[in-house]
Amino acid sequence: MLKNCLECGQIFKTNTINVCPACEKEDQIFLHQIQDYLLLYPRANLRDLEQDLSITPRRLFRYLKENKLQLRT
Ligand SMILES: [Zn+2]
């Protein structure tokens, strides 16, 4: 089926993921950075991630929704 990428809006073909292959690739990089960051700062919140890693809130909320990101609050 065709979907609009939740990140950049581009139309792409998928059965599973919510973002296009280009954004999916970026996700991998960002999620890796987030993992490393949370090891250093386990109590970090969304705002810390947004500011220190320059990740858009929209992207962070999507990670939360997709259970790719869990924060201790
Ligand atoms: Zn995209």
* Predicted local confidence at residue 73, as pLDDT: 64
The answer to whether residue 1 sits within a structural domain is no
The answer to whether residue 10 sits within a structural domain is no
User: How far does residue 5's CA lie from ligand 1's centre (Å)?
Assistant: 5
User: How far does residue 44's CA lie from ligand 1's centre (Å)?
Assistant: 27
Q: Per the structure block, which two tokens stand in for 29? A: 């990089």
Note whether 49 and 31 are within 8 A (CB): no
User: Global pTM?
Assistant: 0.86
Taking the CB of residue 44, how many other CB atoms lie within 10 A of it? 16
- How many structural domains comprise the chain? 1
User: How far does residue 54's CA lie from ligand 1's centre (Å)?
Assistant: 17
Tens-place pLDDT, residues 38-72: 999 999 999 999 999 999 999 999 999 999 998 87
| Residues of the domain holding 40 | 21-73
Handedness of CA 54, 57, 62, 68 (dihedral sign): positive
Tens-place pLDDT, residues 6-30: 999 999 998 888 999 999 999 999 9
User: How far does residue 36's CA lie from ligand 1's centre (Å)?
Assistant: 24
Tell me the residues surrounding ligand 1 (ion) with CB < 5 Å. Answer: 5, 7-8, 10, 20, 23
The answer to whether residue 56 sits within a structural domain is yes
* Predicted local confidence at residue 28, as pLDDT: 97
